[in-house]
Structure 1
Amino acid sequence: MHRRRCRSALVALGALASLLVPTVVAAPPAAAAPSGTKNVIANLFEWNWPSVASECTSTLGPKGYGYVQVSPPQEHVRGNQWWVAYQPVSYRIESRKGTRAQFQSMVNTCHAAGVKVIVDTVINHMSGQDAGGTGWAGSSYGHYNYPGIYQSQDFHYCGRNAGNEITNYNDRWEVQNCELVNLSDLKTESDYVRSRIAAYMNDLLSLGVDGFRLDASKHMPAADIAAIKGKLSRSAYIVQEVIYGAGEPIGPGEYTGNGDVHEFRYGKDLARMFNNERLAYLKNFGEAWGYLPNGSAAVFVDNHDTQRDVGGVLTYKNGRTYALANAFMLAWPYGSKTVQSSYTFSNRDAGPPSDANNKTSNTTCYSGWECEHRWQVIANMVGFHNATQGAGVSNWYDNGYQHIAFSRTGKGYLTINDEDSAVNGRSYYAGLPAGRYCDVVHGTFSNGSCSGPVITVDSAGWFAANIPAHDAVAIHVGAKLS
């Protein structure tokens, strides 16, 4: 009987080398025009602004990422934990990640590299600090008092439970009018509150921001978000955080009229296939699984919340398996893709590498910062994604278990062998033009040559390859050798 194996959370570094070695390919800066097929998002979670700017130039632009998502930029409560950024005390663009001037410079630099900027935007609530205090930039605040911005009449007081907390997610009113973990809940049905939120977002738009990830969207009625969106000074990409809960009255589908919505089931189910079930089941992964429509779904293997709070989700700690899951996501035509880029943590609340004053340190990849977006297989599969945009899936193959393969018709081919042993001596029908292609899982294509193995597709569209255990091969028309 075929059975799944147990995996260690961490894989020996030597065994990962071929998949995880970062590479940066020099390329001329692209124009900050519409990104077209370059639409993969890199979520540089808790990176400071100078480091984001540098990464846009050195890696994100050259590797073909279309967007960078940055963490909340507004003034927040003091502390080192990651979640302090999600407790705003004012709408000043000054935080432990940098000043307003540094933020502006970052946006300009990323645009010059052809990378658009999405801001993680906290608009459902303010802080969760009962005693109040002084924020990062010196603003005083109370739990329901933010001088010059909000006072007590601008918040919800649900009065149902101790501390106004949400306790019943099967009650729509409670989820949208009570407090999420003591965070003072803004009265988003108020036109005054909507206008203040829109003013903050318009300030970000004036700095050149291209889009917003709306945090805690589930805790605001979709109509309130629509009203705030209607007050924006220009169009912007919108993606909303709405966590699916089985049987709950508030579902992600009701928010699609405002923009994209995170499909949280995607990462959980993908991990389940890799960890416990069969990759063969992924043949119809997407809408057929009851997910959001393809054109509205935003997907990821993990994000900053799920990597801490959702058991079984694949993260950087899963090494090779995590790399393969991201390769599948970037090759499979469902949803808009976000690649998570983390820092190393061993406890849930741990903040990013910082100085003694809790100011976020400059990023040094692989030294406290995981930088998954640079891992060779992930970064190179962004190019695969860009080269195969618009192509359907064909030539699906599976062995019934953990070995799968498929074409993006006429443009690319991926095969993943997640069995415990190699698959040797077989050929694959890629349906690609005859020629020599760089295997972008194990090598980087640059200036017409490949730093790794080369796959030869014959005149009938076939190629032969041996696939080691827990490994993959990927080829595409954008990495065809001359």
Structure 2
Amino acid sequence: MTYPPVRPGRARRRPLTRAALALGAASALLLSACSGSPPADPDASPATDGSGHDVGVELFQWTWDAIGRECTDDLGPAGYAWVLTSPPQEHILGPAWWTAYQPVSYKVESRLGTREQFAAMADTCHRAGVEVRTDAILNHMTGQDAPGTGWAGSSYSHYDYPGLYTSADFHHCGLTPDDDIASYLDAQQVQTCELVNLADLDTSSPKVRATEVAYLKDLLSLGVDGFRIDAAKHMPASDVAAIVGALPAGTAIVQEVIRGSGEPIQPEDYAGNGKVFEFAWGRDVKGVLAGTPGAALDLGKAGYLPSDDAVVFVDDHDTERDGSTLSYADGAEYALANVLMLGGAYGEPMVYSGYAFSDRDAGPVQDARGAVVDARCAASPGPAAQRSDGDWVCQHRWAEIAGMVAWRGVVGDAPVVDRWGQGDAVAFGRGERGFVVVNNGQAPLTTTLATRLPDGRYCDVLTAAAPGTGCGDAAVRVKDGRVAVEVPARTAQAFDVAARAR
């Protein structure tokens, strides 16, 4: 299919995937068979323009084979639009998770799989209707002082990468005693000194830029649709612009620029290159959920990137380790934060899915030679599941999260309406297509609320039972614009026009 030209760095809006179209057809049949004809008002019918099909998921340290299977078995059918993979390039040896973030070469050969497996994964995901974005390390090479050999056998030293770079291709800032960043209030330090000893590439160099563009184009040739630009904050925005501007139009770009109060480098500086992660959303939702959950709907109205420029998340692989955001360890509260993110209208949401750990440096489970073992999800993943270190948490499969991904596809870009809040609870609708109630309190919530859903009986799409199987006495009834709900403590319920009760 031919897509219209898109400004470099802007993600294209993808049409509905075959899986989504099949789901839509099934929903239409369900509406007709179980509750009469669908509403005549198109505003009260499921979105058909793909406007809600925008949710990504970071499958952190998942192998290429496992990602391919997950695209087919879960991500495509669940309605995820794109998957973010860990960095695919050759890296240093070692068991820690961060070895993947220390490149040795640009060979697509890592402990997550081979070049051939990577290309097969991209093809498999595309056939499932899921785009593939991958983490791109452009700011630096390794942080190792001693020479070594990478995963694919390439030799290296701190400032020498045979066939790629010599010492002349790196910054040597001379601004601090050890050339490491000492102050984030000094833009020159942040962008020319070393981030925790990682050899800092001179991305203003035509040679460096050409080398990195060739690497990114190679990944595009293997089926990649876009990139997460790691440590973008540590490169001038103009350098990032020169690199991503050399890529084909329509390449999706999202940049890692952590917002810091009073710092001279801010996410807004990079918005011209593509979307930017709004880290403030994840940090702030942790606070508001503990106090007034409804305030989550106000995040993004001031002091944030414009919605069209932002990618938001509850956590990612860094923040779940530094404690700045909620994480899977927060159980029900973490699930509710994801419900609010996916239910709201600010930014493009990204779900995170990793593995359990108690040591923040611990990598995923590996075999005797250091290759990561394929991820496997438990039969019933969820906030209350018992886990040991190394177990795959599979947040993207939690009923609360996966249910909201499908719900978002139904409501599309309908506006937030009928907002209600009381203490630890909040409820809101998205036009006439969907309605959500979140109860973060310690007691059940029983109340009657205003909603624009058409009259009828609706199933809660956040339960483990799939919509369409019938929810019997568990259905709620909307009558004359009112709905009575009973929401247990620390849970949420969501209803939409594609999940009417039989």
TM-based fold match above 0.5: yes
> Which residue in the other structure is 2:311 paired with?
298
- Per the alignment, do residues 35 and 211 of structure 1 end up closer, same or farther by CA in structure 2, a change over 3 Å counting? farther
SS in 2 for 1:80: coil
Answer whether contact 1:438 1:452 (CA < 8 A) is retained: no
> What's the CA shift string for 1:108-155, capped at 9, x where partnerless?
000000000010110000000111200000000111001001111100
> Which residue in the other structure is 1:347 paired with?
359
Residues 12-27 of structure 1: pairs in structure 2 closer than 5 A? none
- Per the alignment, do residues 282 and 35 of structure 1 end up closer, same or farther by CA in structure 2, a change over 3 Å counting? closer
- Out of 295, 298, 301, the residue aligned to residue 287 of structure 1 is 301
- Out of 83, 98, 121, the residue aligned to residue 106 of structure 1 is 121
- Out of 374, 377, 380, the residue aligned to residue 362 of structure 1 is 374
The separation in 2 between residues aligned to 1:448 and 1:344, in whole angstroms, is 32
> Which residue in the other structure is 1:195 paired with?
210
The separation in 1 between residues aligned to 2:51 and 2:161, in whole angstroms, is 41
Task: Work out which structure has the larger RCO, using CA pairs closer than 8 Å and 6 or more positions apart in sequence.
Answer: 2
> What's the CA shift string for 1:194-237, capped at 9, x where partnerless?
01000000000111111100000000011101101122244300
> Which residue in the other structure is 1:384 paired with?
407
- Out of 221, 244, 247, the residue aligned to residue 232 of structure 1 is 247
> What's the CA shift string for 1:317-348, capped at 9, x where partnerless?
11111111101100010001010001011011
- Per the alignment, do residues 462 and 30 of structure 1 end up closer, same or farther by CA in structure 2, a change over 3 Å counting? closer
CA displacement at 1:357 relative to structure 2: 1.6
Answer whether contact 2:468 2:501 (CA < 8 A) is retained: no
> What's the Cα RMSD here?
1.7
Answer whether contact 2:289 2:296 (CA < 8 A) is retained: no
- Per the alignment, do residues 286 and 444 of structure 1 end up closer, same or farther by CA in structure 2, a change over 3 Å counting? farther
> What's the CA shift string for 1:236-290, capped at 9, x where partnerless?
0000000011000000011000011011111111011123x222433422123x1
CA displacement at 1:461 relative to structure 2: 2.1
> Which residue in the other structure is 1:479 paired with?
499
- Out of 306, 328, 331, the residue aligned to residue 316 of structure 1 is 328
Q: Which moved more, 1:470-479 or 1:448-457?
A: 448-457
The separation in 2 between residues aligned to 1:57 and 1:452, in whole angstroms, is 33
The separation in 2 between residues aligned to 1:194 and 1:47, in whole angstroms, is 29
Residues 366-445 of structure 1: pairs in structure 2 closer than 5 A? 366=378, 368-399=391-422, 401-424=423-446, 426-445=447-466
> What's the CA shift string for 1:71-102, capped at 9, x where partnerless?
00000000010000100000000000000000
Q: Which amino acid aligns with 1:464?
A: A
Give the TM-score normalised by structure 2.
0.86
Q: Which amino acid aligns with 1:427?
A: T
> Which residue in the other structure is 1:467 paired with?
487
> What's the CA shift string for 1:30-71, capped at 9, x where partnerless?
69xx96532100100000000000000000000000000000
- Aligned residue pairs total 448
The separation in 1 between residues aligned to 2:404 and 2:416, in whole angstroms, is 16
CA displacement at 1:306 relative to structure 2: 0.4
Answer whether contact 2:51 2:413 (CA < 8 A) is retained: no
Is the counterpart of residue 222 in structure 1 residue 245 in structure 2? Answer: no
Give the TM-score normalised by structure 1.
0.90
> Which residue in the other structure is 2:10 paired with?
none
- Per the alignment, do residues 269 and 444 of structure 1 end up closer, same or farther by CA in structure 2, a change over 3 Å counting? same
The separation in 1 between residues aligned to 2:466 and 2:458, in whole angstroms, is 9
- Out of 21, 38, 51, the residue aligned to residue 53 of structure 2 is 38
The separation in 1 between residues aligned to 2:448 and 2:221, in whole angstroms, is 54
Is the counterpart of residue 453 in structure 1 residue 471 in structure 2? Answer: no
The separation in 2 between residues aligned to 1:478 and 1:220, in whole angstroms, is 45
Percentage identity across aligned positions?
A: 48
The separation in 2 between residues aligned to 1:357 and 1:83, in whole angstroms, is 17
> Which residue in the other structure is 1:10 paired with?
none
Answer whether contact 1:238 1:260 (CA < 8 A) is retained: yes
Answer whether contact 1:443 1:450 (CA < 8 A) is retained: no
> What's the CA shift string for 1:452-476, capped at 9, x where partnerless?
9322212x12111211111211101
The separation in 2 between residues aligned to 1:140 and 1:38, in whole angstroms, is 43
The separation in 2 between residues aligned to 1:147 and 1:370, in whole angstroms, is 39
> Which residue in the other structure is 1:148 paired with?
163
CA displacement at 1:448 relative to structure 2: 6.0
Q: Which amino acid aligns with 1:418?
A: N
Answer whether contact 2:429 2:436 (CA < 8 A) is retained: yes
> Which residue in the other structure is 1:70 paired with?
85
Q: Which amino acid aligns with 1:326?
A: N
CA displacement at 1:175 relative to structure 2: 0.4
Answer whether contact 2:83 2:130 (CA < 8 A) is retained: yes
Structure 1's unaligned 5+ residue stretches are 1-26
The separation in 2 between residues aligned to 1:404 and 1:217, in whole angstroms, is 36
The separation in 1 between residues aligned to 2:156 and 2:460, in whole angstroms, is 55
Answer whether contact 2:468 2:499 (CA < 8 A) is retained: no
Structure 2's unaligned 5+ residue stretches are 1-16, 22-48, 379-386
Is the counterpart of residue 337 in structure 1 residue 357 in structure 2? Answer: no
- Per the alignment, do residues 349 and 207 of structure 1 end up closer, same or farther by CA in structure 2, a change over 3 Å counting? same
